[in-house]
């Protein structure tokens, strides 16, 4: 792991490109949001933690989850929670708003959550698979 000497954030790769800035506060990101938005986030975080230990990185506009690499990120909005997971494959689901292929083993899957009960077994499975990508198990 390499740690940026300016912002202190750890990365899997030395001199990795990032928006260098101090980490923020999770609570501040949810100011002005409906209560169900925070509840969605707490359920997503609990589901991700079931996959294993992770670091929560509150940035200026989003919260990222990291093992060796960031594997998921969430942007609170007033009435919903936008999120994405990074998988090592394309996974079709009508729940994904978009899928962006960055490379054969780096595929972003974006989704939106409006209510806590939407954090179901399917979302938990996405997070568990993304966690393994964050741990770089797919490279072994």
* Segment-wise mean pLDDT, segments of 10 residues, the chain, 140 residues: 73 67 84 97 98 93 92 98 98 97 93 98 98 88
Range of the domain at 132: 23-139
For the chain, give percent helix, strand, coil, nearest 5.
30, 30, 40
Total domains, the chain: 1
Query: Is 11 among the domain residues?
Result: no
Query: Is 74 among the domain residues?
Result: yes
Angle at CA of residue 110, ends 106 and 115, nearest 5°: 145
Query: Is 43 among the domain residues?
Result: yes
Query: Is 5 among the domain residues?
Result: no
Query: Is 40 among the domain residues?
Result: yes
pLDDT value at residue 26: 94
Query: Is 17 among the domain residues?
Result: no
Query: Is 16 among the domain residues?
Result: no
pLDDT value at residue 16: 65
């Amino acid at each position: 792991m390499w740690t940026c000497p300016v912002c202190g954030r750890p990365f899997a790769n030395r001199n990795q490109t990032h928006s260098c800035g101090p980490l923020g506060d999770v609570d501040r990101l949810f100011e002005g949001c409906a209560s169900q938005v925070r509840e969605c986030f707490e359920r997503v975080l609990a589901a991700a933690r079931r996959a294993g230990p992770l670091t929560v990185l509150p940035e200026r506009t989003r919260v990222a989850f990291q093992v060796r690499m960031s594997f998921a990120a969430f942007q609170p909005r007033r009435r919903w929670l936008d999120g994405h997971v990074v998988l090592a494959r394309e996974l079709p689901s009508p729940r994904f708003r978009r899928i962006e292929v960055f490379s054969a083993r780096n595929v972003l899957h974006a989704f939106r959550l409006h209510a806590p009960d939407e954090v179901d077994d399917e979302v938990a499975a996405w997070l568990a698979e993304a966690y393994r990508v964050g741990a770089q198990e797919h490279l072994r």
